[in-house]
Chains A and B, each alone.
Chain A
Amino acid sequence: MTRKKKFISEAENSIIWWFLPVVILLTFFYLYPLFEVFRLSFTNTSFIEPEYSYTIRSYIRIFTSSSFYFTLKITVIYVAACIVGQLGIGQAIALLLDQGEKRRLRGTVLTRTIVLMGWVMPGVVTGIIWNMFLSSSPYGFVNYIIRSLGFKPISFLHSSIFSLVTIIIANIWRGTAFSMILQYAGLKQIPQQLYEAAKVDGASSLQQYFYITLPQLRNVIFINLVLITVGTFNTFEMILSLTGGGPGISTEVLALRIYSAAFKSFDLSGGAGYAVILFAINLIMALTYFRLISKED
């Protein structure tokens, strides 16, 4: 064996080389920036003045500003509404598609494809499309339908209450697909004998749903819940292009707040502080997710 060959054969048996690229990339682009974001959040730095000293003033500023609590409030409303909507509608569609498939109805794949379309599109385009769809201009289709039904048009994008509803609807439109497909997969794993036995015992379809389907889907629903929560907390570009966080700050959720603090107000430490808060939420969700999938194994 030549020296070079020997070196290669030793190298490939050593585990370090296989993980080196991943470790380097994740360290440079994730771990170190994470550390930096923590550090920056304890400084008074900004993009304009690079000189800084250590302080906890940015956190004091965050926690004493009333707009932060407003942001938290609308973020929680937004996330909660999306969870309910995505889980509920996702399950309804999954059940329908499952039934349709069992009955070999036409249009099942078409329906599934159209629902999934929202998931596959870039979030920023979703925002742009819904912005046009819900517009108050003559081309806004939704308002056209509302007017045709004899109601007053709704200002989806310029009223503070309706704009929150708008981002919720658009995100449910986008996120239901994922929730639906997971629950659809879950439904397929339920043993058919359970339903047959229940039928023999004379259980109604409602009873079958509550005593078989729902308990069997329990794990899938919990995993879904965590993934929807983390995904919704992290929504950024869809809201940016849909309402831009406005009117005012009425749809400025936590993720948008990070961006507007750091890159619009050039308040680097403030932005880092918000980022740390979002990180804490992400971490809690990740840990919950692991506990759930460890249980599954």
Chain B
Amino acid sequence: MRRSKLNLKNLLIYFSYGIIIICFGGALIAVLSLSLKTPAQIFSYPPKLIPNPIAWANYLKVFQQSKMPIFLYNSIKIVFFTTLGVLLVSITAAYGFSRFDFKQKRVASFGILAFQMISPLIVVIPLYRYFNQLNLINSHFATILTLIAIQIPFTTWLLKGFFDSIPREIDDYARIDGCSRFQTLIRIILPLSAPGIAAAVIFNSLQSWGNFIIPFVLLEDTNLYPVSVGIYQFQTVQEEITTHLLAAGSIISIAPVVLIFIFLQRYIVNLLIQGSVKG
């Protein structure tokens, strides 16, 4: 059995896997290595992949000497409230699309997806202008509301697909048993679309963790920055001599999403497939 697996074609595939892993994993490994070096090791040539000794203290330094803990706290707060808000709004809209029949339903449901293709960069200029007038610059509240608006379209579309797969007869039975529409949604439709809700939570968390342009423009006080903006600010003020700390900061800022991703890979892959091929 084992020997038959070692034919030429399999070897070729293994060889290609190796190349793919080097090409796609190389940058990450290099940064990981950089994040564990002392300043002297950074500038010694040739660069070593595994530093000796390993400077674990870099990570401690980032936590103690930079605003990383504040950035992390802000990110978690933004991610939590954005995801919650997106879910509340998208669930009702997805229910509307799935359970009501109305004219132009098709146009409306395509229309909502069109928002997803419009870069937030386009609306950020007027948003900055009127939040400035309303004194809402440096407000997490305004930032979160904007992020919710940006992430609604995809989530609505995603949940609509899950709701559609639950037959409407189930609603009718619930109605006969005396459930209102709202009760049917809470007690029957939502539990049945638990995988969809979970997918929406994962997707929205990843997206709001990574969103840059909205907090970048709407927040000016460093103490309010999420990780994405914080790490960029870190980059702009750093010098060559602190490259190892920037590397450690980068690793810290991707660690949560990378870990979530590794654990929930299958889910996310299915989500990607559903979101785009099936429309």
Chain A CB count within 10 A is highest, among B89, B148, B156, B211, for: B89
B273 and A103 contacting across the interface, CB-CB below 8 Å = no
> With an 8 A cutoff between CB atoms, is A161 at the interface?
no
Contact-residue size bin, chain A (C-beta under 8 Å from the other chain):
35 or more
> With an 8 A cutoff between CB atoms, is A241 at the interface?
yes
Residues of A within 8 A of B24 (CB): 114-115, 117-118, 173, 176
> With an 8 A cutoff between CB atoms, is B223 at the interface?
no
Residues of B within 8 A of A109 (CB): 265
A255 and B212 contacting across the interface, CB-CB below 8 Å = no
State how many angstroms separate the Cβ of B140 from the closest Cβ of chain A. 15
A279 and B210 contacting across the interface, CB-CB below 8 Å = no
Please report the C-alpha to C-alpha distance between residue A272 and residue B124 in the assembled complex, in whole angstroms.
10
Docked complex: A130-144 residues within 8 A CB-CB of B: 130-133, 137-141, 144
State how many angstroms separate the Cβ of B235 from the closest Cβ of chain A. 5
A182 and B43 contacting across the interface, CB-CB below 8 Å = no
Residues of B within 8 A of A156 (CB): none
Residues of A within 8 A of B189 (CB): none
> With an 8 A cutoff between CB atoms, is B272 at the interface?
yes
B20 and A8 contacting across the interface, CB-CB below 8 Å = no
Chain A CB count within 10 A is highest, among B124, B125, B276, for: B125
Residues of A within 8 A of B277 (CB): 182, 185-186, 220, 223
- Could you tell me the dominant secondary structure of chain A's interface residues? helix
A121 and B127 contacting across the interface, CB-CB below 8 Å = no
Chain B CB count within 10 A is highest, among A18, A230, A262, for: A18
Residues of A within 8 A of B229 (CB): 124
In the complex where A234-B119, A263-B217 touch, is A138 in contact with B44 (Cβ < 8 A)? yes
In the complex where A19-B96, A182-B273, A278-B121 touch, is A138 in contact with B43 (Cβ < 8 A)? yes
Closest residue of B by beta carbon distance from A109: B265
Docked complex: B164-203 residues within 8 A CB-CB of A: 180-182
Please report the C-alpha to C-alpha distance between residue A289 and residue B47 in the assembled complex, in whole angstroms.
46
Closest residue of A by beta carbon distance from B210: A122
Residues of B within 8 A of A130 (CB): 27
> With an 8 A cutoff between CB atoms, is A49 at the interface?
no
- Could you tell me which A residues sit within 8 Å of B by CB distance? 8-9, 12-13, 15, 17-19, 21-22, 25-26, 28-30, 32-34, 36-37, 40, 93, 96, 99-100, 103, 105, 107-118, 120-125, 128-133, 137-141, 144, 148, 173, 176, 178, 181-182, 185-186, 220, 223, 227, 230, 233-234, 236-237, 240-241, 255, 258-259, 262-263, 268, 271-272, 275-276, 278-279, 282-283, 285-286, 289-290, 293-294, 296-297
20 intermolecular pairs with C-beta atoms under 8 Å apart: A9-B180, A17-B92, A22-B89, A26-B152, A29-B123, A40-B125, A100-B13, A112-B265, A114-B20, A117-B25, A117-B261, A120-B261, A121-B257, A128-B231, A139-B47, A144-B45, A185-B273, A237-B216, A278-B121, A282-B122
